[in-house]
């Protein structure tokens, strides 16, 4: 299968679905990343410019993707922190869907505003999720939407399945116990964002721990949607 991962920032794919992505590529599926921004606002360091940070984060993302077996990473170059689910973003995502023609799209659940009653979900995460869902239906599969894409030779395409990460309504858990170290290795590539890798590993092991049939596993959860 071909799987398109549409996220807002560098490191979002690894945090949200790194283990699942590793499993897919090991099974022979092709995974492609589409990132809306280059993450130029991901620091409070007064000694670095947004342009310098964006270049660092782009390199980090390429390295992390390679560890998980992902060879294609596209940056749409929208402004970090200012994503809106508008026609421009929807068109760019629709273009990627028609270009790569994935069976599965992975993105973030736009309905998640508060996580675990402890965290506010980033506005860019909500925007990318809503824009991606609007691109999947009806835009990607309807030739009347964005006729300019037809002029680029991009015919309509119907996505079969959606995996929404960062969700408060999971209905699917993917066992990533055997590939958890790959997820960690990919996340460690994002050194500009991760100050304490040891603390991160501890936090992830706690967050991703589940008991299934009396067996403890590490799993990533999704809101899985199968489209008719």
- Bridge-partner residues for 45, per DSSP? none
- Average model confidence (pLDDT) across the chain: 97
* Confidence at residue 212, expressed as pLDDT on a 0 to 100 scale: 82
Q: pLDDT by residue (tens digit) across 29-66?
A: 999 999 999 999 999 999 999 999 999 999 999 999 99
* Confidence at residue 198, expressed as pLDDT on a 0 to 100 scale: 95
Q: What is the DSSP letter of 65?
A: H
Residue 26 has pLDDT above 90, yes or no: yes
Phi, psi of 219 (to 5 degrees): -145, 150
Angle at CA 125, nearest 5°, toward 120 and 129?
Answer: 130
- The domain that contains 148 carries what CATH number? 3.40.50.10320
Name the residue range of residue 216's domain. 2-226
Question: How confident is residue 147, by pLDDT bands cut at 50, 70 and 90?
Answer: very high
> Which of 6-15, 18-27, 113-122, 138-147 has the lowest average pLDDT?
113-122
| 32 in Cβ contact with 2 (< 8 Å) | yes
* Confidence at residue 115, expressed as pLDDT on a 0 to 100 scale: 87
Q: How large is the average pLDDT for residues 4-23?
A: 98
**Domains in the chain, number:** 1
* Confidence at residue 194, expressed as pLDDT on a 0 to 100 scale: 95
| 112 in Cβ contact with 126 (< 8 Å) | yes
Residue 214 has pLDDT above 90, yes or no: no
* Confidence at residue 162, expressed as pLDDT on a 0 to 100 scale: 98
């Amino acid at each position: 299968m071909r799987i398109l991962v549409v996220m807002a920032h560098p490191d979002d794919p690894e945090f949200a679905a790194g283990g699942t992505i590793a499993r897919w590529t090991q099974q022979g599926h092709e995974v492609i990343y589409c990132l809306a921004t280059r993450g130029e606002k991901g620091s409070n360091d007064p000694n670095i410019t947004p342009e310098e940070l964006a270049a660092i984060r782009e390199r980090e993302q390429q390295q992390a993707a390679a560890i998980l077996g992902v060879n294609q990473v596209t940056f749409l170059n929208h402004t970090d922190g200012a994503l809106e689910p508008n026609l421009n973003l929807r068109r760019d995502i629709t273009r990627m869907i028609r270009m790569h023609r994935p069976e599965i799209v992975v993105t973030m659940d736009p309905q998640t505003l508060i996580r675990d009653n402890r965290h506010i979900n980033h506005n860019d995460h909500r925007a990318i999720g809503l824009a991606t869902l609007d691109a999947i239906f009806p835009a990607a599969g309807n030739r009347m939407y964005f006729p300019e894409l037809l002029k680029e030779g991009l015919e309509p395409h119907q996505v079969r399945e959606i995996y929404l990460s960062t969700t408060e309504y999971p209905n699917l858990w993917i066992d990533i116990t055997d590939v958890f170290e790959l997820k960690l290795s990919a996340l460690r590539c994002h050194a500009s964002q991760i100050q304490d890798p040891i603390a991160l590993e501890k936090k992830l092991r706690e967050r991703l721990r589940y008991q299934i049939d009396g067996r403890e596993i590490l799993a990533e959860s999704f809101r899985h949607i199968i489209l008719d």
